[in-house]
Amino acid sequence: MKKLLTPILALALLLACALPALAASDDVSVTVDGAPVVWTDARPFIDDNNRTLCPLRVIGETMGLTVTWDDATRTATFTSTDIVCVNGTRSEATRSISFPIDSNQTLIREYRFDADSNLRYYEGFGPTMDTAAIIRGDRTYAPVRFMAEFFHSAVEWDGDTRTVSIICPGYTPGGTALPLNVTRQDYSLYDAAGDMLLDAYYDLVTVTADSGAAAKINETTAADLARFVKEYNELDIDTEHASINGPYEFTCAATPMYNQNGYLSLCYETGWYMGGVFNGGYYGKTFDTATGELLSVGDCFKMSDEDLLLYIKQILFTEIRYNPDDFFDDAADKVADYTLDSFDFYLAADGELIVCIPVYELSYGYVGPLNIRAGIYAGVD
């Protein structure tokens, strides 16, 4: 299981129904990230409520979770380690869901936003199942959907093959990554002695596959290079000043981040220095690998644009609330007026949304550009 940043989505995402049983047979298979779960002495079965129950320990361990059993309370607990931001400090925190035996009520421990957009630790009731967790053959059984979706994994049921498929955040199915080439285009300037006056370059990302989608992606990245070159040609370089205070900098470094599950997301880091204050930032370009189309942030997530925007605003409000000295007085007012087009974004290597806010947009120059992990994952949330 990948580590998750956990400003939490509405708990409604977790209140999905248990997997329906489509026949009286106990012949049910489970896969995690495409690999079949290997059963030892316990297998899924259908309970009296006509629900498919699975032995959770082997599935949880396959997902990378820590599994513990409390004999006194007869409770099985599944835990992951998350990255959270509390009072402006990012740190590790555990997140868990527990299944008390003979109960249909789960218990959870996680960070959540309160009504005032503060991030608080919550410990209490989680989703209520429509069938109880039980012990059978010294193994804990419950509907696996409740555990998997709590950890932001997607769960699918194939009635034809009677297979439960669990897809963890950041999973890369075989053959979906695009072949890429990153070539640094160097535009640096030097004086007669060979000393650098201007460090200037652009990293051009190209897809080396022969397809219409690849051609469209390459057309878009080439257009971005053309924009960079146009701005480069408009630079007014004081070579004498640069020889004393330089070298100057005008750079754009590209890093392919998320290249799987139908997405290609590129992160661009810019640098600008002309002898005064260094300035830099981040922006991204995310593509549909099937069509080559450039995607908006709303195209990458299952939630509605309205819910996505509200969620991102909550994260930004929290950053401002816990670091008031770093932000302009009107920063919260600016965020309140944001739309999904107000900021750049890219997807991290595990598919997590990264929100990019330029330097001086909301905060003082010493803070630098904001690169904020949002804790939601493309194609999952």
Is pLDDT of 90 > 70? Answer: no
pLDDT recorded at residue 63:
85
User: Could you tell me if residue 107 is inside a domain?
Assistant: yes
CB 163 within 8 A of CB 52: no
Is pLDDT of 13 > 50? Answer: no
Q: Measured on CA atoms in the order 334, 337, 341, 346, is the torsion positive or negative? A: positive
User: Could you tell me if residue 48 is inside a domain?
Assistant: yes
Q: State the average pLDDT over residues 88-112.
A: 78
CATH of the domain at 50: 3.30.457.10
Residue range 264-314, pLDDT digits in tens? 999 999 999 887 778 889 999 999 998 999 999 999 998 899 999 999 999
**Integer Cα distance of 316 and 325 in angstroms:** 15
Q: Are residues 223 and 149 in the same domain?
A: no
User: Could you tell me if residue 360 is inside a domain?
Assistant: yes
User: Could you tell me if residue 236 is inside a domain?
Assistant: yes
User: Could you tell me if residue 172 is inside a domain?
Assistant: no
Pick the last residue of a domain from 108, 138, 167: 167
User: Could you tell me if residue 174 is inside a domain?
Assistant: no
Q: Are residues 317 and 184 in the same domain?
A: yes
Q: Are residues 187 and 118 in the same domain?
A: no
User: Could you tell me if residue 175 is inside a domain?
Assistant: no
Residue range 176-224, pLDDT digits in tens? 678 899 998 999 999 888 889 999 999 999 999 889 999 999 999 999 9
Mean pLDDT of the chain: 82
pLDDT recorded at residue 120:
66
Pick the last residue of a domain from 144, 167, 190: 167
CB 55 within 8 A of CB 134: no
What pLDDT band is residue 175 in, cutting at 50, 70 and 90? very low
Q: Are residues 196 and 153 in the same domain?
A: no
Q: Are residues 70 and 215 in the same domain?
A: no
User: Could you tell me if residue 173 is inside a domain?
Assistant: no
Q: Are residues 202 and 151 in the same domain?
A: no
Range of the domain at 131: 4-167
Within 13 Å of residue 232, how many CA atoms lie on the same side as its CB? Answer: 22
How many structural domains compose the chain?
Answer: 2
Residue range 24-35, pLDDT digits in tens? 345 788 888 788
